[in-house]
């Protein structure tokens, strides 16, 4: 159950062999969707059910969707001796995901017990293990369960969820299984190459809010999802990540240091404090170009008439990086309403960046507020690269594949080694 024991064949960019363990809980019905999603993305999937799982979902359903026989008590897979099936399953898998993971399974794994085929297979497995807990909040909150989860975390086991939401009991609370797409991302993240180890990455995300009075502000519709996806991807690749986040409600990605700000001036100060120590700076925040010239300390009243709102320019944080961090690789985002190559090339030169990522925020299916994006990457002296519409997590992975080579030079390696 150690991440460090992943098979040598686990390299990025190819379909993987995923063993999906299904425990006996109401959320077991979602295993079918998880199998479908994984296979859509090119992965091979086999399933292993605990004896109680059969009360909540069909073995035949999982066999049809996965295209492979289901492992479990009383299920014999052709060509494998019965007493060795758990060894064969463990050797076949490159990752094991248990979804849903019940309190019983979590505790058994923490104590090294093997009460069923799935637990026995996990004990024989040396690669990454992902758990998706699902249970009633009263069970989730038990100290003994949290102690067992802590034991598993110390061994490198990855936990995704649970999340707060409606439960089978009709209540709302913390204990609902994580979203299937979040599980897919967690599984695939196990195979991300650690190619940013030793690299310091500074990322900005979200909007800025420029206060007019105590209740009003100038802002934009940026959700911060693109920047948070970039931070999560950089951390998965082994970087030391500092995320400067505007006013958003997103959860901090694991392993990421977060600095919360509200205004462009606050974001500018946070970036200035960290820029010189960074190897890579990615400015994905949608920073307000202007702010009110004067702040009204009391709420502006309608009956007093329409106020005259004078604006003043905010600092151009991206353009300032050439002086603040001349040795860093600098990447900017350009949120445009209709991207043109000429404007992108102009910004690339004017901002003195190594890469400019342009996206069209006028489209409802990408950009602000969407889980998807479509971008074009511009770099000096190189042809532009278009990344067609896809989830922002996938855009983040593809962007780092394009950006990472910019970090590779003898001088930059020497600089990093001295830090």
Angstrom CA distances, 365 to 317, 358, 359, 370, 393, stand at 28, 15, 12, 6, 15
* 3-state class (DSSP) for residue 107: helix
Does residue 195 sit within a domain? no
Shared domain check, 178 and 78: yes
- Is the domain of 178 the same as that of 271? no
Average pLDDT, the chain: 87
Statement to judge: residues 185 and 204 lie in one domain: no
What residues contact residue 112 under an 8 Å CB cut-off, 6+ apart?
123
User: Minimal CA–CA distance to 151: which of 194, 111, 95, 209?
Assistant: 111
pLDDT score for 167:
80
In tens, the pLDDT along 89-112 reads 999 999 999 999 999 999 999 999
CB 13 within 8 A of CB 85: no
Q: Closest by alpha carbon to 3, among 184, 147, 179, 152?
A: 152
pLDDT of 73: 78
Name the more confident of 3 and 33.
Answer: 33
- Confidence (pLDDT) at 217: 93
DSSP string, 11-73: -TTS--EEEEEE-SSGGGGGHHHHHHHHHHTT-EEEEEE-GGGGGTS-HHHHHHHHTSPPBBT
Whether residue 79 sits in one domain with residue 17? yes
Cβ contact 345:378 at 8 Å: yes
Q: Are residues 141 and 214 in the same domain?
A: no
Q: What's the rounded mean pLDDT across residues 11-30? A: 83
Bond prior to 4 in cis (omega within 30° of 0): no
Q: Are residues 113 and 8 in the same domain?
A: yes
Residues 340 and 378 in one domain: yes
Interstrand relation of 210-213 and 216-218 (parallel, antiparallel or unpaired): antiparallel
What are residue 97's DSSP bridge partners? 20, 130
Query: Tokens 């090294």 label which residue?
Result: 112
* Residue for token pair 């896809």: 390
Q: Which residues are catalytic?
A: 220
> Would residue 409 count as lying in a domain?
yes
Range of the domain at 276: 200-298+307-417
State which of 154, 189, 224 marks the end of a domain: 189
| 136 and 216 within one domain | no
Model pLDDT for residues 203-262, shown as the tens digit of each residue: 999 999 999 999 999 998 899 999 999 998 999 898 999 999 999 988 888 789 999 999
* Predicted local confidence at residue 78, as pLDDT: 53
CATH, residue 335:
3.40.50.10300
**172 contacts: CB under 8 Å, gap ≥ 6:** 164, 165, 166
Distance of alpha carbon 340 from alpha carbon 320, whole angstroms: 24
194 belongs to a structural domain: no
pLDDT band at 77 (very low <50, low <70, confident <90, very high): low
**What was the pLDDT predicted at 212?**
94
Residues 272-318 have pLDDT tens digits of: 999 999 999 999 999 999 999 999 999 989 888 888 899 999 999 99
pTM here is 0.66
Residue 145 has pLDDT above 80, yes or no: yes
CA distance 128 to 385: 33
Q: Is the pLDDT at 49 greater than 70, yes or no?
A: yes
As a whole number of Å, the end-to-end CA separation of the chain is: 33
Determine how β-strand 372-378 pairs with β-strand 355-360: antiparallel
Q: Identify the domain boundary among 189, 224, 246.
A: 189
CATH of the domain at 95: 3.40.50.1950
238 and 386 in a single domain? The answer is yes
Shared domain for 51 and 90, answered yes or no, is: yes
Q: Looking at the 3D structure of the chain, how many domains does it have?
A: 2
pLDDT over threshold 60, residue 129: yes
User: Given phi > 0 = left and psi -120 to 50 = alpha, else beta, which region is 74?
Assistant: left
18 and 40 co-located in one domain: yes
Neighbours of 299 (CB within 10 A): 11
């Amino acid at each position: 159950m150690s991440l460090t024991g992943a098979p040598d064949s686990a390299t990025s960019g190819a379909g993987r062999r995923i063993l999906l363990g299904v425990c006996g809980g109401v959320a077991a019905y979602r295993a079918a969707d998880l199998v479908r999603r994984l296979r859509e993305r090119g992965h091979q999937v086999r399933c292993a059910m605990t004896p109680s799982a059969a009360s909540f979902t069909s073995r035949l359903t999982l066999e049809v969707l996965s295209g492979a026989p289901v492992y479990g008590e009383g299920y014999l897979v052709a060509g494998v001796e019965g007493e060795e099936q758990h060894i064969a399953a463990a050797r076949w898998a490159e990752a094991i995901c248990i979804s849903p993971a019940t309190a019983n399974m979590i505790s058994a794994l923490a104590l090294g017990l093997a009460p069923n085929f799935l637990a026995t297979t996990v004990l024989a497995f040396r690669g990454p293990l992902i758990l998706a807990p699902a249970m009633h909040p009263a069970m989730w909150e038990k100290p003994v369960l949290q102690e067992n989860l802590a034991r598993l975390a110390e061994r490198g086991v990855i936990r995704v969820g649970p999340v707060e939401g409606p439960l089978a009991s009709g209540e709302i609370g913390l204990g609902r299984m994580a979203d299937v797409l979040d599980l897919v991302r967690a599984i695939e993240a196990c195979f991300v190459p650690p190619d940013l180890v030793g690299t310091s990455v500074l990322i900005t995300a979200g909007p800025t809010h420029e206060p007019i009075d105590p209740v009003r502000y100038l802002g934009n519709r940026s959700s911060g999802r693109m920047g948070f996806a970039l931070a999560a991807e950089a951390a998965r690749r082994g970087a030391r990540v500092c995320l400067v986040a505007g006013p958003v409600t997103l959860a901090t990605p694991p392993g990421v240091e977060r600095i919360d700000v509200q205004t462009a001036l606050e974001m500018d100060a946070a970036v200035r404090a960290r820029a010189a120590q960074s190897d890579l700076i990615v400015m994905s925040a949608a920073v307000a170009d202007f702010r009110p010239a004067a702040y009204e300390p009391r709420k502006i009243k309608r009956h007093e008439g329409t106020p005259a709102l004078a604006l003043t320019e905010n600092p151009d944080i991206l353009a300032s990086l050439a002086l603040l961090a001349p040795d860093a690789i600098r990447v900017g985002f350009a949120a445009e309403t209709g991207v043109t190559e000429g404007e992108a090339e102009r910004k690339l030169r004017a901002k003195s960046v190594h890469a400019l990522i342009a996206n069209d925020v006028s489209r409802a299916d990408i950009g602000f507020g969407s889980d998807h994006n479509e971008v074009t990457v511009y770099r000096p002296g190189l042809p532009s690269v278009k990344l067609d519409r896809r989830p922002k997590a996938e855009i983040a992975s593809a962007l780092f594949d394009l950006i990472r080579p910019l970090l590779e030079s003898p001088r930059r390696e020497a600089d990093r080694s001295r830090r």
